[in-house]
Chain A
Amino acid sequence: MDFRYTTEQEMYRQAIREWLTKNLEPRARAIEEAEDGIPDDITAGMAELGMFGVTIPEEYGGMPLPDDERLIYAMITVHEIARADLSMSTPVYTLLTIGWSYIVNLYGTDELKQELLPAVAAGKAFAGINTTEPGGGSDLAAIKTIAPWNEEKQAYVMNGEKAYVSGPKECEKWGPPSGHCTLVKTDPEQSYKGFTFIWVPAHLPGISYTTYNDMGRMGLSTGGWIYKDVELPKKYVLGEEGKGFYVNMDGFNAARVLVAAACLGGAEKALEISGEYTAQRKTFGKPLGKWEGISFEMVDDWMRLDMLKLNLLRGAWMIGQEHTSPGTFGRKEINKVISTCKCLSPTLGHDIARHGMMYHGAFGYTKETPLEMFLRGVVSYEVGAEGGLMIMRGIIARDEWGETHNPFKD
């Protein structure tokens, strides 16, 4: 057993921290305020260092990494990006793109991988996730977007609407092959067994989108899609037709590792900012850090952060082991660890941001510190996105105690 990163993982972490500190951190506020996406030179620099290729094999333009370590490299990537861009825009852009590429690589056809993954690794395509509908997101079984197979057209014909989806403007900016892993019903008569998980390129005829005005994370767009008779060839199916719900859930576990990494990376940085401020700011003749009302709260936050970082590393490692040696852990064990991270990390990020703002006093309410920006950004993962917090609790209840505690089935 070894709790340390390998030499290569640690070298990579140090290398990207150096680059991100120099190139991304000074521009985080400008990215937030411009509301114009992540600048091209940032995504180009990230691609050059290999950040977009961590979940993609070398044959599709990615990095020559051991498959069981890919998610750990992805976690390191997102954690470090989140430290540099506390608005959460760049970390979320990246975690979606590399997280869902991980699933495309696991479940996609060779044709789809050839089409999509080299562009992702080069930093020139966006990949996202698209499940939620105007009628709800947590209750996935109730989704209404349908895509039954049409023999004449030799395609799944998709009709419906999706909502609260990250990346519509990013798809437009990059053009093909950008798009989303999307959950649809290919057999509308069936319940769970009617689902298929399928790649939907954003530029196919019949697709249009609207955008929302979010509270934070302003460098990444959010919107809704409308699909009218969109034709999806078979090559875009992820996994098997009718097994989409399970492929989607597998993808969520990987994505939740990275969501937690984004929250914890930002939280770590925010706590460092508070540490520095409370060391130098004096009240009544002594530094703020000497007041236990402040330092003990910081300690409580630090303890939660440290435990979650360790648990997340465990989760990323478990998924890697399961994907390279199926049956090592099983779905339930992984679900519990990952749901714990996804459930607790956004709230911890929010708490650390809010506590830090309190230590900064009125200064904390200004845009002179990045804490308010982190608070607005991290809330996106508290309210939902990649599974709401109550859904995470429901998963743990179901997988720890079984059907007597399963809230998803009567």
Chain B
Amino acid sequence: MDIVVCVKTNPDLQMVRVKNREAVVEAVPYKLGDLDKNALETAIQLRDAAGGTITAVSVAEGNRKIRETIKEALAMGADSAAVVDDPALAGADPAAVAAVLAAAVKKLPGCDLVLFGEGSTDNYSGQVGPRVAELLGVPQVGFARKVEAVDGAVRCERSMDEMIETLEVALPAAVTVVSEINEPRIPSLMHIMKAKSKPVEEWTLADLGVDAGAVAARREIVSNLAEEQDRKHVLFEGSAAEQADAFVNALIKEGVLGR
């Protein structure tokens, strides 16, 4: 099975500070998205069980140090990578990213399965996977917590509110995965060094036959601010047992417990 994993580079969220409700991303290192690593781990397990290849594909949205971070995907176990970098992508929105990814997947020699994280670690719009599936004209399963290869298809499991749904979808297909699907491997130094010699294709929009006008942002970000949370400063009095009871009752009242 030849698998394409679409990955995005995100600022390391643990290093992002919030100042006046705005994220300060200067000097913050970039890394592969957490959920993208779940998708990559899924691909590695499928390939190791059923054979085939993995290509990691990424689109540069602004200055995201994509060439460095794509090596992380190669170190984890992707066989090759393709990155799309073009000045026209500076303000790309999810629709534009999906259009470019779909064009990139089409340019690759073969693809049975396209995998995504359920959303990106930073903006988490969750749109790109379904949009790419639509553009490629392939069936899509969202939020899979298990993916297995079966003859000419993949069997996916996903958690619904009250039940677990199992779907089988013929290939080619697109699947987005949730974080509980697996624990992504941490690349060893041996694999980091071997990643240096794995092939990385670099494409511009022209290489993909995508017109720069087609990726102009149709979305306008009006504001992007951290949520303000006022602390309630509730103090409970009485014995330890009374305080614990009052605390639990307060959590139930807030809807945190007992839903």
Contacts and interface: CB of A to CB of B under 8 A. Distances in A.
A50 to B, nearest CB: 3
B196 interface: yes
B65 to A, nearest CB: 9
A63 B31 contact: no
A10 B69 CA distance: 10
B190 A64 contact: yes
A334 B72 CA distance: 34
Contacts of A53: 189-190
B184 to A, nearest CB: 10
A407 B193 CA distance: 45
A155 B189 CA distance: 39
Interface in A265-295: none
Contacts of B196: 8
Contacts of A18: 186
A260 B72 CA distance: 29
Contacts of A51: 189
B68 interface: yes
B186 A11 contact: no
B71 A50 contact: no
B189 A12 contact: yes
B193 A65 contact: yes
A64 B196 CA distance: 11
Interface in B187-238: 187-190, 192-194, 196
B198 to A, nearest CB: 13
Nearest to A51: B189
B189 A14 contact: no
Chain A interface size range: 20 to 34
Interface string A227-243: 00000000000000000
A209 interface: no
A49 B188 contact: yes
A48 interface: yes
Nearest to A19: B186
B114 interface: no
A240 B61 CA distance: 58
Interface size range on B against A: 10 to 19
Nearest to B67: A7
Contacts, number: 46
Contacts of A8: 71, 192-193, 196
B82 interface: no
Contact of A49 (B71, B72, B189): B189
A73 B189 contact: yes
Given A7-B68, A7-B71, A11-B75, A63 B186 contact: no
A353 interface: no
A303 interface: no
Contacts of B189: 12, 15, 49-51, 53-54, 63, 65, 73
A63 B192 CA distance: 10
Interface in B67-85: 68, 71-72, 75
B186 A64 contact: no
A11 B188 contact: no
Interface string A45-62: 000111101100000000
Chain A interface mostly: helix
Nearest to B184: A18
Interface string A1-26: 00000011011101110110000000
B99 to A, nearest CB: 29
Interface in A333-362: none
Contacts of B186: 15-16, 18-19, 49
A50 B190 CA distance: 7
Most A CB contacts (10 A, CB to CB) among B31, B187, B188, B196 go to: B188
Interface string B119-135: 00000000000000000
Contacts of A19: 186
A53 B189 CA distance: 9
Nearest to B76: A15
B104 to A, nearest CB: 22
Interface in B42-96: 68, 71-72, 75
A11 B190 contact: no
A15 B187 contact: yes
A210 to B, nearest CB: 37
Nearest to B65: A7
Contacts of B75: 11, 15
A102 to B, nearest CB: 15
Contacts of B68: 7, 10
Contacts of B72: 11
A88 B196 CA distance: 33
A64 B75 CA distance: 14
Contacts of B187: 11, 15
Contact of B193 (A10, A14, A64): A64
Nearest to A17: B186
Contacts of A48: 188
Residue of B72, B192, B193 most packed against chain A (CB within 10 A): B192
A8 B197 CA distance: 12
Contacts of A7: 68, 71
A73 B188 CA distance: 13
A399 to B, nearest CB: 34
Interface of B: 29, 31, 68, 71-72, 75, 186-190, 192-194, 196
10 contacts: A7-B68, A7-B71, A8-B196, A10-B29, A11-B72, A12-B192, A15-B192, A19-B186, A50-B189, A63-B189
Interface of A: 7-8, 10-12, 14-16, 18-19, 48-51, 53-54, 63-65, 73
Given A15-B75, A49-B189, 10 more contacts: A8-B71, A10-B29, A10-B68, A14-B29, A15-B187, A15-B189, A49-B188, A51-B189, A54-B189, A64-B194
